[in-house]
A and B are shown apart, each in its own frame.
Chain A
Amino acid sequence: MMLLEIDDLAIGYGGDKILSKNINLSIESGQLVGLVGQNGVGKSTFIRTICGLQARISGEILLLGKEIDSQNPKSIATQISVVLTGRPDSLNLSVIELIALGRHPYSGWFGKLKKEDKEKIDQAITQMEINYLAKKRLFELSDGQLQKVMIARALAQDTDLIILDEPTSHLDLKNKIEVLDLLRKIATRGKGVLISTHEIQLSSKACDLFWCMDFGKEMLIGHPKTLIDEGALQHYLHIPKGILK
């Protein structure tokens, strides 16, 4: 199923500050896509734009076949969930309260959790294997634990598409591998997952596709291993060929 289609998109700020244009992409269910590129190339801008958090310059973004601008924030929130870089502003919430916020688009005025909401929260906690954290408060968590909890919140939002901005930053190697594994599993179960990452080597094994950005060029799209073998990825990232395997 086609979850997201991007047609001739240009992203940037204001009228004349275009970061990237002629973007034509799509994500299907079951796919884990890695967005790679140097710092400042516009990965986060791209992510904010396709989530509807930032205005685009031109082009079309279709969510499940419907133009994103024609949908209200609540309906978008039932189709895309995001995990952004950086900690949330307040950490004075319990892990369960945070994950329960994922049910925000579905609950009523008082945010009361219905049976289905509780089931989704339970599922998200089990999937991320964070049962042991459930009673803690956010400020008690390590960066890696917090990242997993934030992903669980996105899962509880129960969207077809999950977008994560650098989900493996600040994590140690073990946690990086664990998080990528979990995302791979989530995609295999039928969701579409897009991550931006600088972990080229690790994510090349987990991802089905790489979308590669470079300054002033069109986006490069391909299977990670093919791109690395051809040397095209190294060229886009401005690194020596031999460094990636």
Chain B
Amino acid sequence: MIESQLDESKKKWKKVFLLLILVLLTSFILSISLGSVQIPFSFIVNHFIGSSDNEVWSNIIQNFRIPKTLTSILAGSALAISGLQMQTLFRNPLAGPFILGISSGAGLGVALVIFLGFWLGGFIEMTGIGRNWLLVGAAGLGSFIVLSVVLIASFRIRSGVSLLIIGLMFGSAVSALVSILQYFSQAENIQAYVIWTFGSLGSLSWGELNVMMPVIMVSLIFSFLLSKSLNALLLGENYAESLGLNLKRARMLIIINTSLLAGTVTAFCGPIAFIGLAVPHIARMLFNTGNHLLLTPLVILLGSILLIVFDIFAQLPGMQETLPINAVTSLFGAPFVIWLILRKSNLNYSF
């Protein structure tokens, strides 16, 4: 009996995944075709075939639009997966990738570099690549330190809720340090910091992508291996343990994995909001499942697609101006989630 039912659902899911992959490819092509400079579609096709006759357009596609779209895919899937795993680990629908203070840690690192850097006078001279890497390193180190403290706490504590509260407390304490730094800073430093907090997908060079891509790819593959443990955690910690799950080890692996994903994205792109919190809910509501063996690929695909689409909106195609990505994700994403909830209000949505 179960056999026929599993076959039935296998067919259904094959269709769903095929459709999502098609949507992802379409949005990838759209994202490369649209921008402030109008490039004809035929040129883009030619570029990929390898026969381009316009150096400027080629340069725009190769060094701006493709890296930016790849960044969207990596950041979207990484943040969405860390949100999913945090929500399940803490069985809390309000959890997101930054719930344990990762973005606060990264923020402190960046704030220190910007504010102290200006103070020492060295920051202004540093431009371009060197400055980018300094920010990436500072953000990465900041989130790593926060993560280490949370991990040490996770060994001593059994209850997930206590760990969640420790993460929140740590995050607010770190944010307070940033506020103090801001309070004693000059206007232009504060502006530089605020611009970092807006998030950015378009500033990555191939050199930075070559570091970001392998880290995210490995963590995403690892996420598939965590899906089974996450399913057991859906029942609660006691049940998960009675099913043979090594609770502390599983929790440690999940925290390390989400921190690698969210920490890497935050280091390179700044704290990108909304995606991590909302995409898991969108996936559960659209596809009506809580099974992580399905949710993991669904959330990767949906996160990539949504961040590409939001980035297309942010670019305001055809215009010179761009909007900060963080504003766009929430501005367009929030109504979408509200609409989904209202549409399904007769159903008992359970996370």
Contact = CB atoms under 8 A, between A and B. Distances in A.
Interface of A: 48, 51-53, 72-78, 80-82, 84, 88-94, 96-98, 101-102, 104-105, 107, 109-111, 113, 118, 121-122, 125, 131, 134-135, 137-140, 157
Contacts of A138: 350
Contacts of B5: 96, 134-135
A157 B1 CA distance: 19
Given A73-B241, A84-B239, A105-B244, A91 B350 contact: yes
Given A73-B245, A111-B227, A139 B350 contact: yes
A105 B231 CA distance: 13
B348 interface: yes
A92 B350 contact: yes
B225 A90 contact: no
B293 A111 contact: yes
Contacts of A81: 242
Range class of the B interface residue count: 20 to 34
B284 A92 contact: yes
Given A90-B350, A90-B351, A96-B2, A107 B242 contact: no
Interface of B: 1-3, 5-6, 88, 91, 224-225, 227-228, 231-232, 234-236, 238-239, 241-246, 284, 288-291, 293, 348-351
B242 A109 contact: no
Contact of A82 (B3, B242, B246, B349): B242
20 contacts: A73-B246, A75-B244, A77-B242, A82-B238, A84-B238, A88-B239, A89-B236, A90-B88, A90-B290, A90-B351, A91-B348, A92-B234, A92-B349, A104-B231, A104-B243, A111-B228, A118-B3, A118-B6, A131-B1, A157-B243
A108 to B, nearest CB: 8
Given A84-B238, A96-B2, A78 B244 contact: yes
A104 B234 CA distance: 13
Contacts of A72: 246
B133 to A, nearest CB: 36
A111 B288 CA distance: 20
A149 B145 CA distance: 44
Nearest to B3: A118
A51 B239 CA distance: 11
Contacts of A75: 244
A90 B290 CA distance: 8
Of B227, B231, B288, chain A has the most CB atoms within 10 Å of the CB of B231
A104 B241 contact: no
A154 to B, nearest CB: 9
Contacts of A96: 2, 5-6
Closest 6 CB pairs of A and B: A77-B244, A92-B290, A74-B244, A105-B244, A111-B228, A88-B235
A139 B290 CA distance: 12
A81 B284 CA distance: 29
Contact of A107 (B224, B228, B288): B228
Of B5, B246, B291, chain A has the most CB atoms within 10 Å of the CB of B291
A52 B350 CA distance: 30
Contacts of A91: 348, 350
Contact of B234 (A48, A88, A135): A88
Of A76, A97, A131, chain B has the most CB atoms within 10 Å of the CB of A97
